[in-house]
Amino acid sequence: MTQCWRSMFLAATAATLLAAAGCSTTVTTASGPISDPTPTSSTPAEGDPGRRARVRLELAGAYFSRGQMAVALQEVDRAIAAEPTLGAAYNLRGLILANQGDDKAAEESFRKALALNPRDLDALQNYGWYLCQHRRYGEADQQFVQALAVPQNREPARTLLAQGVCHTRSGALEEAERALLRAYETDPNNPTLQYTLAEVLLRRNEPERARFYARRINAVPSLISAQTLWLAARIEHKLGNTTGVQDLGAQLRTRFRESREAVAFERGQFNE
């Protein structure tokens, strides 16, 4: 069973951006029935609270990935009852509660996870994304900075992507570009980064540079979407390339006629 909940901050980030880029997230969800691992007399977990807690945590993660939040919360609470110092359980509990809209309890859970392990990379990133979603941008950035400083962070591009998106949300476009370019250095084939960089550079009035990243996305047929074509059209409009704009508009009309982007193109809403 995969612990897909561990980087749900990334899934939340990518869900918005990858949808715009015509991609799907890499989050794995459980399929089919989930068996209850309640220990029996013949189960190795019997008498081992740590093992029992980890099994419950795995089960909670599976329910969380299926969107069954109430059951996931029950299971993660059982994990905590079995092992109160299991920081990963508090991290997942924070994600579940945030999903349910219980912000106060969610934040308490994230803080508890970090109190147990200040270098918990997953908790730092998840709490950072939670803060970003609540427009607490300065606090969010602190979490991302700390996550980047964790020696075990072997994929800094993921943290930098979340940081860059958060800067974009706050309107700090220069800082967003800086973070995203750092991410791009180590993960240049990531379509989410390409799309986001193009969007940020267009907003910073640098359409020539934005064009480079937009073209990289649209050069891959499986990545083309109404959103990526519309982004490219806006860039070409900014550059005064009428032929390019019309070509991209034709693709929008042909392939994504009912999309919001096709409607926006027809209305000439390039700067909105």
- Look at residue 169 in the predicted model and tell me its pLDDT: 95
- Look at residue 46 in the predicted model and tell me its pLDDT: 53
- Which residues have C-beta within 8 Å of that of residue 184, sequence separation ≥ 6? 157, 190, 193, 194, 197
**Of all helices (H) and strands (E), which one includes residue 94?**
helix 87-100
- Look at residue 32 in the predicted model and tell me its pLDDT: 42
* pLDDT, tens digit, 9 for 90 and up, residues 50-78: 899 999 999 999 999 999 999 999 999 99
Fold of 193-272: 1.25.40
What is the residue extent of each domain of the chain? 193-272
**Coil vs helix vs strand at 222:** helix
Distance CA 193, CA 164 (A): 9
- Look at residue 226 in the predicted model and tell me its pLDDT: 97
What are the angstrom distances between the C-alpha of 246 and each of 224, 226, 255, 259?
17, 14, 14, 17
Mean pLDDT of the chain: 86
* pLDDT, tens digit, 9 for 90 and up, residues 23-38: 332 223 333 444 454 4
Which residue bears the tokens 């799309």? 195
* pLDDT, tens digit, 9 for 90 and up, residues 2-14: 344 455 544 444 4
- Look at residue 272 in the predicted model and tell me its pLDDT: 78
The number of beta carbons lying within 10 Å of the beta carbon of residue 230 is 23
Whether the per-residue pLDDT at 237 is higher than 70: the answer is: yes
The number of beta carbons lying within 10 Å of the beta carbon of residue 186 is 13
The model scores a pTM over 0.75: yes
For residue 48, what pLDDT band results from cuts at 50, 70 and 90?
Answer: confident
Q: For residue 118, which of 82, 143, 155, 153 has the smallest C-alpha distance?
A: 143
- Look at residue 13 in the predicted model and tell me its pLDDT: 43
